[in-house]
Amino acid sequence: MKYPTPPGRRLIANLRYLRALIKRFRTTLMLTTLLFLGAPPVYQWRCHAPDGSPVRAGKALEHVYFLLFGQPSLDCGDDWVAIVFNILIPPVGIALVVDGVVRFAYLFFAKHKSDKEWIEVIAETMKGHIIVCGAGRVGYRVVDQLRSMGKDVVVVEKREDGAFVGVLRDEQVPLLIDDIRSPQCLPRMNVRAASAIVCATDDDLANLNIALDARRLNPSIRVVIRLFDDDLVAKVRDTFKAEALSSSSLAAPAMALAALDPRIVHSFRIGGHLMVVSVFEVRTGLPGLTISEMRDRFGALALALRRGEQEKLHPNGDQVIQPGDLLTVQAEYPDYRRLRSFTGETQPPIWSDNEFALPSGSRLTGTD
């Protein structure tokens, strides 16, 4: 999903980028300015027009400009100062223009190229940004979520043919193609000013190396590591003080409970507690209770209440539940089972085409 940048924020980002470019090329820009402001007065002082009149400033500036291409427009005779300047300006000017000014213009206008130097300049304009390592499915979804919250993100991916490389570039996300373990990769992404780094590659060892390198360069950075080895998760958390997550451990509760009860839309663990999120279509039991009474009686938190076409997040505790309401509820799994039992829905529905039957025998169509 694309998240358009507001015009004001885009302008500020462009100004920050321009400032970073000026800082990077300040020596080149200063020498170029000195060349075009300092050399013309010398020619005005040492040279004369064919009719003997003084050389005007515009003509002297034109002479300096064409000297860059080996095409002098003034004849200063045998004046040794002018000769020295005529000899020095072409090589010095070419070095300044080609290596400095042209590269400056390229980096400013050709942002879509996403080369290493452009990424480095972009990262220099950021502070408190988040580095995401790996542009696979997990990495892309992390980037998508962070951008939806308005966070600055820089991505590094090892393979040019990665599945989401083209998508990220189309969405104008700064993306560096490089080996994350190379010595210059993290400095290019301005890791010293980053607030967090997400190690989301498909290689546990690479993720650990990235985390160690990031902490060495920025001891205060927040580190989040994706690991496939469940045994490493607790060790990494304790040893490196990093947030280590196992894809299998995160997915296991959701898959297990989805197999038991399709009404559970999400599940996760908090310490030793298995928490579930489910949607209740209010029919029996709950009508007449308030949100706070449901919480106190069953330990169930109402995340959202939908009534007709209106939906309210975190409904007030004194809100009375009515028949037909849709309640999104979060509870510990045993409390969830008690709440379902209270509403007469102990067992999950048995699906049949576009309708399902409750164990009690009542029939509810999919359009109810």
Q: pTM for this one?
A: 0.59
Give the pLDDT score at 248.
Answer: 66
Phi, psi angles (nearest 5°) of residue 48: -135, 155
pLDDT tens, residue order, the chain (368 aa):
445 555 555 666 566 666 666 676 777 778 778 878 888 888 888 887 776 778 888 888 888 888 877 777 777 777 888 888 888 878 877 777 766 666 666 666 655 555 676 777 778 778 889 999 988 888 898 998 888 888 889 999 988 888 888 888 888 788 888 888 888 889 888 999 999 999 888 888 888 888 888 988 999 998 888 877 666 676 676 666 667 676 666 666 677 777 778 788 888 878 778 888 998 988 888 898 999 999 999 989 999 999 888 888 999 988 899 998 899 999 999 999 899 889 888 777 655 444 444 444 444 433 33
Domain boundaries, the chain: 7-109, 116-249, 261-365
CB 199 within 8 A of CB 221: no
- Determine the residue type at 309: E
Give the pLDDT score at 328.
Answer: 93
Fold category of 116-249 in CATH: Rossmann fold (3.40.50)
CA distances from 123 to 88, 127, 269 (A): 37, 8, 36
Centre a 10 Å sphere on the Cβ of residue 69 and count the other Cβ atoms it contains.
Answer: 11
Give 223's Cβ-side CA count (13 Å radius).
Answer: 27
Centre a 10 Å sphere on the Cβ of residue 79 and count the other Cβ atoms it contains.
Answer: 16
The CATH classification of domain 7-109, taken from the options 1.10.10, 1.10.150, 1.10.287, 1.10.8: 1.10.287
Selection from 102, 114, 175 nearest residue 139 by Cα = 175
Q: Does domain 261-365 have CATH number 3.50.50.100?
A: no
Report the side by side order of strands in the sheet with 222-227. 175-177, 153-157, 130-133, 196-199, 222-227, 243-246
Long-range CB contacts for residues 142-145, cutoff 8 Å, separation at least 24: 142/198, 142/200, 143/168, 143/173, 144/1
